[in-house]
Structure 1
Amino acid sequence: MEGEIKGKAMEGEQLSDFSSLPEGVVAKILSLTTPPDACVSSAVSKIFHAAAQSDIVWNQFLPTDWELFISRSNPNKLKFDPIFSPKKDIFFSLCYFPVLIDDGNKSFSLEKWSGKKCIMVGARDLSITWGENSDSSWEDHPDSRFAEVAVLLFEWWFEIRGRLSCRMLSPKTVYAAYFLFKLGERSYSGFNIDPTNATVGIIGHENHPKSVCLDPYVDQPLYLDQLIQWPQWPQWRRQFERRMAGLERPHKRHDGWFEIELGEFIGGDHGDDELEMALKEVKGSSSKGGLVVEGIEIRPKKLSRLHA
């Protein structure tokens, strides 16, 4: 019994000693952890709470070049003061409020679990084969972070390409590229006939293409049956379903946009190289329309434990 009491006393003394470390020392320790760890540590003690608000901690979580990105934005649109705002406020502002850069055609934000950089290439910065045709249009959209989105009205040849400097990404990070789109108010059709080919990779390096399905309703025959009324349709539908079997499908995000992963890569370790992303369906076996393109987002792949 005496040994047990003595052991508890020593444990208490160790905890007391750790909690009584100078705030600066605690801040340095927290800066070596992660943003979620720093937030949770605020509940440990008053010293930890104060240290967890320190610029020492959050400056470590911010990318070293975050100010360079901010210099490429409109300062009047920022939700923080780059000079006087606490670094913690800047960090979370960049997590939840993407900053438009490069004439408003790209956006820069941070992944809240790690502070890694996320970039979205807006439709205006993409090479869209049908982008300047009369069979497409550029429109504002209430749900888009960009001034304009591309709307495909009617086209047989579908191809979208985008490029991004690898220096814009965090080093030694597994990234994935995601195509963001919506179904237009006009008829959305043609993307349930043939798979769309997607590629992501560093220019000049080998990449691994894959086929994806851009129709989120391809597995809902009743939806299609209501749109298409002809005797041969059930037979055609079964053929289309076989083509799409096993392919990755879009899923709807919390912000209302559909997204589909185009591929993954290791980012930030290729110097002046460029990342290229492509999405195309050029067989021309069907016309396509009703696609609203916001852009392609490049963000770190989440660990399974972080999925929400």
Structure 2
Amino acid sequence: MATRMYMLPEDCISSILSLTSPPDACRLTLVSSSLRSAAESDIVWGGFLPSDLPRILSRSHTHLSFSSKKELFFLLCASVLIDGGIRSFSLDKVSGRKSCVISARALTISLSNEPNHWIWTTNSTSRFSEVIELKTISNMKIDGRIETEDLSPNTTYGAYLIIKVSDRSFGLDSIPCETSVSNITSTVTSTTYLCPLDERKQQLESLFFMNRRRMMEKRVVEGECRRPNKREDGWMEIKLGEFFVGEKSEGVKMKLMEVKGQQLKGGLVIEGIEVRPI
């Protein structure tokens, strides 16, 4: 079978390889020189790029320089800023499915323009020019929205709030917040704490907030309250929920809010919300 494949015209081989996957195409470049030429062709890598590629490129914040569609594919895998630099777009290296990060500037954050409550600042590890840091607030609400046309169809996605916790943080693990992800047909809610578990600090604060903690934890649909998880890029993430993208375009809303906002808190740094395939 392999011998018969070598007898096919290169463009025919490329058309066949375009039905595989990016990792398969990369592996096939190592088999032989004839397969390498076919596997690196624009026919193959054009098949791995999104169908709305011109729209994506038109939204790029900077000019993208590339000499082949394979090179463009890996540029997009590394992520590019779009929409004036307030969003980031990327492709999954294995599946080619779309991901998006919505920066803090593109979110709706309660009192975000009040310098007594929040401060816009920079962070050397952020992909965006600005992040937002909480100074102090008692009732926090963060809303994000994404159109499913910016994502891959027939795919389950997770939404994650990307955060850091400063050394001067306070009140973030006293009372859990409610998270939700909703579209036209459904709303899925859960609860989460805003920083990793500090057992000693939690024991002290539980003396004052046990009743409210128990009230909030009763709102959990499954299991216990979530906690932030560490990311490879040095940030942490809080899972807000999941949703499925079908063929029909619609808006998806993502939210984090404190239902009973009485506890002062500060020291939370927000980069944005990432929406990526699960």
> Which segment is superposed worse, 242-251 or 17-26?
242-251
Coordinate RMSD, CA, aligned:
2.2
- Is contact 1:111–1:118 with CA below 8 Å preserved after alignment? yes
Correspondence 1:137-286 to 2 at 5 A: 137-185=119-167, 187-202=168-183, 204-216=184-196, 218=197, 220-222=198-200, 224=201, 235-236=207-208, 246-267=224-245, 269-271=247-249, 273-286=250-263
The alignment partner of 2:85 has SS state of coil
Distance 1:158 1:66 in 2: 37
Distance 1:268 1:126 in 2: 24
Name the counterpart of 2:19.
Answer: 32
Larger Rg belongs to: 1
The alignment partner of 2:125 has SS state of coil
Distance 1:105 1:268 in 2: 26
Deviation of the 1:43 alpha carbon: 2.2
Amino acid at match of 2:191: S
Name the counterpart of 1:135.
Answer: 117
Deviation of the 1:39 alpha carbon: 1.1
Distance 1:201 1:47 in 2: 49
Residues 190-211 of structure 1: per-residue CA shift (max 9 Å, x gap): 2211121111121x32211111
Amino acid at match of 2:265: K
Change (3 A) 1:191 1:270: farther
Distance 1:235 1:161 in 2: 31
Change (3 A) 1:288 1:282: farther
Amino acid at match of 2:193: C
The alignment partner of 2:111 has SS state of coil
Query: 1 or 2, which has the higher strand percentage?
Result: 2
Change (3 A) 1:142 1:95: same
Deviation of the 1:93 alpha carbon: 0.8
- Is contact 2:174–2:205 with CA below 8 Å preserved after alignment? no
- Is contact 1:167–1:268 with CA below 8 Å preserved after alignment? no
Distance 1:25 1:283 in 2: 63
- Is contact 2:62–2:81 with CA below 8 Å preserved after alignment? no
- Is contact 1:152–1:290 with CA below 8 Å preserved after alignment? yes
Change (3 A) 1:75 1:136: closer
Alignment TM-score, normalising by the size of structure 1:
0.81
Match of 2:86 among 95, 105, 128: 105
Distance 1:208 1:75 in 2: 36
The alignment partner of 1:143 has SS state of coil
- Is structure 2 residue 29 aligned with structure 1 residue 48? no
Deviation of the 1:256 alpha carbon: 0.6
Match of 2:57 among 49, 62, 70: 70
The alignment partner of 1:75 has SS state of coil
Flag structure 2 segments of 5+ consecutive residues without an equivalent: 218-222
- Is contact 2:97–2:277 with CA below 8 Å preserved after alignment? yes
- Is contact 1:179–1:259 with CA below 8 Å preserved after alignment? yes
The percent identity for this pair of structures is 40
- Is structure 2 residue 271 aligned with structure 1 residue 299? no
Amino acid at match of 1:44: V
Distance 1:73 1:288 in 2: 36
- Is contact 1:197–1:211 with CA below 8 Å preserved after alignment? yes
Residue correspondences, number? 271
Distance 1:286 1:118 in 2: 34
Deviation of the 1:103 alpha carbon: 1.6
Distance 1:292 1:182 in 2: 5
- Is contact 1:253–1:259 with CA below 8 Å preserved after alignment? yes
Change (3 A) 1:285 1:34: same
Deviation of the 1:180 alpha carbon: 0.3
> Which segment is superposed worse, 17-26 or 191-200?
17-26
